[in-house]
Amino acid sequence: MVADNNPPQRPEDGAPGSAPQWGPPPIGQQQPQNAAQGNTGQNNTGAYQPQQNAPQGNTGAYQPQQNAPQGNTGHNNTGAYQPQQNAPQGNTGAYQPQQNAPQGNTGAYQPQQNAPQGNTGHNNTGAYQPQQNAPQGNTGAYQPQNPGGYPAGGGYGATPPGGPGGPGKPSNPNKKKIILFSALAGGLVLLLIIGAVVINVVNSSVYGPDATVRSYLTAISKGDASEANKIAAPGVSEEQAVLLTDDVLGEAGEFITNAKVTQSRVSGDQATVRVSYSLGGTTYDGYIELSKAGKQGVFFDSWKIDTPLVGDLAVYISNSNSEANEAAVNGVTVAFGDEYSLPAYPALYTVGAPGSDFFTAEDVEYAVGTGTRADYEGVELELAPTEALTSAAQEAVNAYLDECATSTELDPEGCSLRLSWYTDFTSVDKVAYTIDDYPTVEVDEYGTYFTADGGSYTADVTGTTYDGTKDTLPFGLDGDWGITGKLVIDGDTITIEDVY
């Protein structure tokens, strides 16, 4: 830098009538506070000395100072312009604007901005030294501290206690309580929201219609008809519910597997759940209707099944002489009645002859399913009489004929005891029958009717002969006696009717 050989003159230097140039304010004027300025230890040269961020000696020239504390650097006053930035500066005796750094007492005009100023140890040079954003010492010079203008009241740059706005406003003693209560309220609301979400999730997953249906399917898949009936009432009479029992379902050849809920729809207090399951290599489906039945555990819904998951087991019995149309289902004799069909839980059933020794039939396996892939053809069961039925029918016929033989009348009804007495008697008083051989019974292919042939009997007839005397003569049939009728089976008991 080239030294300024014509520095501004002061009145003290012999310029009469001239205004102070870059010197301190007149004596008695208040200097700006807000910053402490120290003595920099420099001589007052009266020259303009800008100082910027670098240490400089006393040059007697303009040295602006920015962004650095300024101390006594030990430089000699050269009288040249030496700008200094961001570094401590010595006392140059010249105009020294200072920014962001503390400055010593230069004796020059030093505006100060936004930073406390300490005593830099500078001598009062009488030169103008603006200072910005740094603490400054007492330079003994006029030091305004607000670059935007000079505040009124007491001098340049005076700042009232508590900051530019005056004394600080006292804090509200209830502010902490308000914050605490707000936090507690917010936490409570959050807990309520979380609780509602948890209840909703648990209600749908654990206590919803899907959960009820899953429990129902589990019971059926285990062959537990009693548990299934508790979850969903069959809704039929006791006679119609004979297949919905542990004795029947529990003995199934195969239970459903892979039972699951595939779709669920809730509408108010009603719900429809679609299910699927596997049985015998086939995947079946079905729909279960439910309705709300109050609450359980205070918060959770209780659902009941309105339409149980049941199919139809229809059995058409051929050659049956029983009006009850009996057949054995999984070893249990069941009367299908006139409708030939009974409700049953999905499973694989074995249908055979009723539980007696009188009939036999080839067992038939039948899968009871639901939905679109269910088989509604039912089972055709062909019964065949056994030798046990023929033997029981023979005993029934013999007993019947024994009753016939006790008669003392001519030709008792239904016994085929016909006599040609009128060839020898004009009138008959009594008859005594004796069975010599019972007729042999044969049962038809249906086990319904029988024919008994080849029997023999003798009848001793007492009456009045044509000559008017009393006499007893023998009558009867030898090998040609027989009867025909219908077998009535009641469990293990056989009776005959409609005999002729």
Taking only the tens place, the pLDDT of each residue in 247-300 is: 999 999 999 999 999 999 999 999 999 999 999 999 999 999 999 987 765 556
pLDDT score of 121 more than 70: no
Domains of the chain by range and CATH? 1-161 (no CATH), 209-305 (3.10.450.50), 311-383 (2.60.40), 388-497 (no CATH)
pLDDT score of 191 more than 50: yes
Q: Return phi, psi of residue 214, to 5°.
A: -65, -45
Q: What is the mean pLDDT of residues 175-194?
A: 72
Q: Return phi, psi of residue 491, to 5°.
A: 70, -120
Q: Which residue would you say has higher pLDDT here, 86 or 499? A: 499
Contacts with 93 (C-beta within 8 Å, 6 or more apart), sequence order: 42, 43, 44, 45, 46, 47, 49, 58, 60, 77, 106, 107, 123, 125, 126, 127
pLDDT score of 17 more than 50: no
The alpha-carbon radius of gyration of the chain (Å, integer) is 64
**Cα 107 to Cα 39: distance, rounded to the nearest angstrom:** 10
What is the pTM assigned to this prediction? 0.55
Taking only the tens place, the pLDDT of each residue in 431-489 is: 999 999 999 999 998 888 999 999 999 999 999 999 999 999 999 899 999 999 999 88
Q: What's the pLDDT score for residue 103? A: 44
Q: What's the pLDDT score for residue 462? A: 92
Q: What is the mean pLDDT of residues 119-141?
A: 43
**Cα 434 to Cα 461: distance, rounded to the nearest angstrom:** 11
Q: What's the pLDDT score for residue 22? A: 43
Q: What count of other Cβ atoms lies within 10 Å of the Cβ of residue 373?
A: 11
- What's the pLDDT band for 338 if we cut at 50, 70, 90? confident
Q: Which residue would you say has higher pLDDT here, 76 or 378? A: 378
Q: What's the pLDDT score for residue 405? A: 94
Q: What is the mean pLDDT of residues 331-340?
A: 89
**Cα 48 to Cα 52: distance, rounded to the nearest angstrom:** 13
| Mean predicted lDDT score pLDDT of the chain | 74
Left if phi > 0, otherwise alpha if psi is -120 to 50, otherwise beta: which for 42?
A: beta
Q: What is the mean pLDDT of residues 357-376?
A: 93
Are 43 and 75 in contact by the 8 Å Cβ rule? The answer is: no
